[in-house]
């Protein structure tokens, strides 16, 4: 594939009034995609709201010759999201692409975090992504086409101090992706995830200015545009930042089998190095593969470990 093309595509991008979302919207519009610029217009912590930020992005797109519409739906409210999707279909006839980008931060160490802040961050990132996906899902199934991107984070994949709420939400969208890509495959609905590192409102003050200057939103958007094109992959966690691109993958080790009379915590402790040995590890694409591995081992009843 020499060029990433889009023909008569319509995209909904949440949190597209600034930062990464705005960059995604401008890039797709420049390639002829009609864009719903969704943004509640609130602060980084999720307070307040104004549709004007979305309207400003629409103005930029239209000034460059593209087509776009602004929307201020709150992604945590399914009825508002459904109305947004209906408005896009009413104007352009269909929705082909959904980019779940909306998010907030309420960072604190877990001991100091109030549960309302934990719940709100999960509501915006995880439930918000589920709401938006639910609102387009059957439409995409009926049309036999869809491209959906979840926005995850290294905070979810690897952890980050002070971000238990954010990390849990960002890992949650990976679980959502892993199942949706299975359910949508026969309808040509491909679901991927973007794990970005960029200089945005969310990263101000967290890194030196020299690093932030390298972490442009445009460098991340280059990967995003690939994830929603006609020839997009399925079930890829694409990491992007400062011109670097990589994939995050989850592997399961080959592990061991213990016969019933050997299944004790002491034997697990004794063989933990064998259990965690990466030799022979595999990347699974559905949960049943793990079950089949364990059942196959148990059915064979073979244990070669020296206990």
Q: What is the pLDDT of residue 5?
A: 79
Q: What is the mean pLDDT of residues 135-142?
A: 98
Asked if residue 96 lies in contact with residue 145, where contact means CB atoms within 8 angstroms, the answer is yes
Asked if residue 60 lies in contact with residue 94, where contact means CB atoms within 8 angstroms, the answer is no
pLDDT 10s digits, 17-44: 999 999 999 999 999 999 999 999 865 5
pLDDT 10s digits, 289-302: 999 999 988 888 76
Which range, of 47-56, 79-88, 154-163, averages the lowest pLDDT? Answer: 47-56
**Distance (Å, rounded) from C-alpha 213 to C-alpha 48?**
29
Which of these, 230, 228, 231, lies nearest to 193 by C-alpha position? 228
Active site residue 166: yes
CATH class of 10-247: alpha beta
User: What are the sequence ranges of the domains in the chain?
Assistant: 10-247, 260-300
**What is the pairing mode between strands 237-241 and 97-100?**
unpaired
Which of these, 286, 2, 12, lies nearest to 147 by C-alpha position? 12
Paired tokens of 101: 């980008």
Q: What is the mean pLDDT of residues 166-191?
A: 98
Output the pTM of the full model: 0.92
pLDDT at 1 exceeding the cut of 60 = no
pLDDT 10s digits, 87-130: 999 999 999 999 999 999 999 999 999 999 999 999 999 999 99
pLDDT at 2 exceeding the cut of 70 = no
Q: Which H or E run includes 68? A: strand 68-71
State the catalytic residue, choosing from 166, 187, 251, 284: 166
pLDDT at 47 exceeding the cut of 70 = no
The mean pLDDT value of the chain amounts to 92
């Amino acid at each position: 594939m020499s060029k990433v093309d889009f023909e008569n595509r319509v995209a909904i991008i949440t949190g597209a009034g600034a930062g990464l979302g705005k960059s995604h919207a401008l890039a797709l519009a420049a390639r002829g995609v009609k864009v719903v610029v969704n943004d509640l217009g609130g602060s980084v912590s999720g307070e307040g709201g104004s549709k004007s930020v979305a309207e400003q992005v629409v103005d930029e797109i239209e000034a460059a010759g593209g087509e776009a519409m602004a929307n201020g739906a709150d992604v945590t409210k399914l009825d508002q999201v459904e109305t947004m999707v209906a408005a896009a279909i009413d104007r352009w006839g269909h929705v082909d692409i959904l980019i779940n980008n909306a998010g907030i931060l309420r960072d604190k160490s877990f001991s100091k975090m109030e549960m309302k802040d934990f719940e709100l961050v999960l509501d915006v990132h995880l439930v918000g992504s589920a709401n938006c996906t639910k609102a387009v899902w059957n439409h995409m199934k009926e049309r036999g086409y869809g491209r959906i991107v979840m926005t995850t984070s290294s905070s979810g994949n690897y952890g980050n101090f002070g971000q238990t709420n954010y990390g849990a939400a960002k890992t949650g969208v990976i679980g959502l992706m892993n199942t949706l890509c299975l359910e949508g495959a026969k309808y040509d609905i491909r679901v991927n995830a973007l794990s970005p590192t960029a200089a945005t409102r969310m990263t101000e003050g967290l890194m030196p200015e020299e690093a932030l200057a390298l972490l442009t939103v445009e460098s991340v958007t280059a990967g995003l545009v690939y994830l929603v094109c006609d020839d997009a992959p399925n079930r890829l966690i694409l990491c992007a930042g400062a011109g670097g691109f990589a994939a995050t993958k989850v592997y399961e080790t080959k592990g061991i089998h213990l016969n019933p009379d050997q299944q004790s915590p002491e034997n697990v402790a004794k063989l933990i190095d064998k259990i965690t040995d990466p030799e022979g590890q595999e990347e699974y694409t559905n949960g049943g593969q793990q079950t089949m591995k364990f059942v196959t081992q148990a059915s064979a009843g073979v244990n070669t470990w020296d206990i």
